[in-house]
């Protein structure tokens, strides 16, 4: 371990966002696309002492955050009765920024519960997230 660096404990693959576009460019048919893997690598970060303040910051600004996000990406997803939760990629308990635009993604409520239940294993020294993943994660 190098001085000033914390050991890597493993990585979690949170989302695979695929974007495709078809249209016209300079009057010619055009198509483009790409993929974005959203991952979080857990390191031996200590738990923060101001977790409640971080959660309150998120709660107080959540509607404004969603509005700003929606202006760039379209409406924040929701079920018939509620908005999807915003998941903090670098979790608040270990120092993640509550309102950083690149730290929050919308996820369906059931998926959010699964992700949150998996996070503690990522920070476990003997956790399963240290194993190497599949050689080709994109098989479609």
The answer to whether position 18 is within a domain reads yes
The answer to whether position 34 is within a domain reads yes
Query: Which backbone phi and psi does 34 adopt, to 5 degrees?
Result: -175, 175
The answer to whether position 140 is within a domain reads no
pTM (predicted TM-score)? 0.76
The answer to whether position 1 is within a domain reads no
The answer to whether position 35 is within a domain reads yes
The answer to whether position 14 is within a domain reads yes
The answer to whether position 137 is within a domain reads no
The answer to whether position 104 is within a domain reads yes
pLDDT for 140: 56
Q: How many domains does the chain have?
A: 1
Domain containing 111: what range? 8-130
Per-residue HEC secondary structure of 3-48 comes to CCCCCEEEEEEEEEEEEEEEEEECCEEEEEEEEEEEEEEEECCCCC
- pLDDT 10s digits, 97-140: 999 998 999 999 998 998 888 888 877 777 666 667 666 655 55
């Amino acid at each position: 371990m190098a001085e000033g660096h914390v050991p890597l404990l493993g990585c979690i693959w949170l989302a695979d966002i695929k974007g495709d576009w078809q249209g016209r460019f300079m009057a010619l048919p055009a198509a483009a696309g790409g993929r974005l893997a959203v991952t979080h690598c857990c390191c031996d970060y200590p738990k923060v002492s101001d977790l409640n303040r971080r959660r309150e910051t998120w709660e107080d600004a959540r509607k404004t955050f969603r509005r700003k996000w929606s202006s760039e990406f379209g409406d924040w997803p929701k079920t018939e009765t509620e908005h999807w939760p915003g998941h903090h990629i670098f979790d608040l308990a270990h120092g993640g920024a509550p309102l950083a635009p690149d730290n929050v993604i919308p996820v369906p409520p059931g998926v959010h519960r699964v992700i949150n239940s998996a996070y503690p294993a990522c920070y476990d020294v003997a956790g399963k997230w240290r194993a190497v993943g599949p050689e080709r994660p994109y098989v479609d």
